[in-house]
Amino acid sequence: MGAPDKHIRFLSESDYKQATLQIKDASHAQGVYAPRIGIPLVRRHTELEALNSPGITESFGIHEIAHSSHVDAPVRIEQTKTGKWIFKKVKAEATETRSGFLIGLPFGTGPARGRLLEEGYAEYERGLYVQQHDLIGAFTSGAPGYAGAKTSIIPLQYRYKALGEDGEPFLTFGPGAVPAAILETLIKHEPEILPILRESRRGVKGMREFPQRVNSLIPGLYSKLVHMDEGSMAKLLRTTIKQLS
């Protein structure tokens, strides 16, 4: 068996919709990295590009490719000569699958954990890319660095947002922005955490070291990151900022 094909595919709206028909929650997302498929798929959303910049699609690719930095794919997706997207099983199903920080697939057996930490990691990398390449878009000019989320005041950087069709900024990868802001807070406090975080995607050494470094900053935090849900993550962000300030 060869190595999984992790090359990113940028698809038109219609191709993206067709390719993601069989993937839960993917059809409305900016992109998807389903571990069982093994290929990051990103939709080229022309209206969002016009409102922000073509770089916005690039940044969605960065988010999905970040997910793909740690996984073995048992299923692959391919496009046939007639344009149809098909799924190919390439390996027997494992009892428990790990995709970065996500353990146990949401559509697999058993409850998943680490989903929001995994989303946060991918969104942190996207945000970094957006900031480094100045892809934030005109809507942020003159705006403060932080903005409130819709439902409550959470300090979230504009780099986790894009300008939407209704003229309002929205969180590009939904709840992933909050755990991304937690990781950002940790890395700002201790920059050495970033290379260890990236290393933890690739090997056992990093996988052991990352939780240790996180817990050395705030005892017990790693477990909270793995088990946080959408109801608890905003509070965790606030307490993390408070404890490290």
We find the least distance from the C-beta atom of residue 122 to Zn ion, in angstroms, to be 4
**Contact flag: residue 122 with Zn ion (CB under 5 A):** yes
The tokens of 104 are what?
Answer: 């146990």
Q: Where does this chain touch Zn ion (CB under 5 A) — which range of 117-125, 180-188, 196-204, 207-215?
A: 117-125
From CA 12, how far away is CA 193, in angstroms rounded? 37
User: Which CB, 122 or 186, lies closer to Zn ion?
Assistant: 122
Shortest gap between Cβ of 25 and Zn ion (angstroms)? 10
Tokens 């950087």 found at: 157
Distance, CA of 136 to CA of 138 (rounded, Å): 7
Tell me the C-alpha distance between 116 and 60, whole Å.
Answer: 17
What does R_g of the chain's alpha carbons equal in angstroms? 18
Q: How far is the CB of 244 from Zn ion (least distance, A)?
A: 25
Residue nearer to Zn ion on the CB measure, 58 or 119: 119
Shortest spacing between CB 161 and Zn ion, in angstroms: 15
Rounded CA-CA distance 133/131 in Å is 6
| Stretch near Zn ion under the rule CB under 5 A, chosen from 76-84, 115-123, 128-136, 203-211 | 115-123
Judged by beta carbon, residue 4 or residue 179, the one nearer Zn ion is 179
The residue of the chain with the least Cβ separation from Zn ion equals: 122
Q: Tell me the sheet residues that pair with 147.
A: 156
Contact 64, 173 (CB under 8 A): no
d(CA 147, CA 156): 6
DSSP tag of 108: S
Q: Would you call 68 helix, strand, or coil by DSSP? A: coil
Nearer to Zn ion, 175 or 212 (CB): 175
Choices 91-99, 111-119, 139-147, 236-244; region in contact with Zn ion by CB under 5 A: 111-119
- Residue 174 or 190: the one with the smaller Cβ distance to Zn ion is 174
Under the binding rule (CB under 5 A), the answer on residue 105 touching Zn ion is: no
> Among residues 11 and 50, whose Cβ is nearest to Zn ion?
11
Residue 62 CB, nearest distance to Zn ion (Å)? 11
Enumerate residues 6+ apart whose C-beta is below 8 A from 146. 155, 156, 157, 158
Asked if 66 interacts with Zn ion (CB under 5 A), we say no
Site residues for Zn ion per CB under 5 A:
119, 122
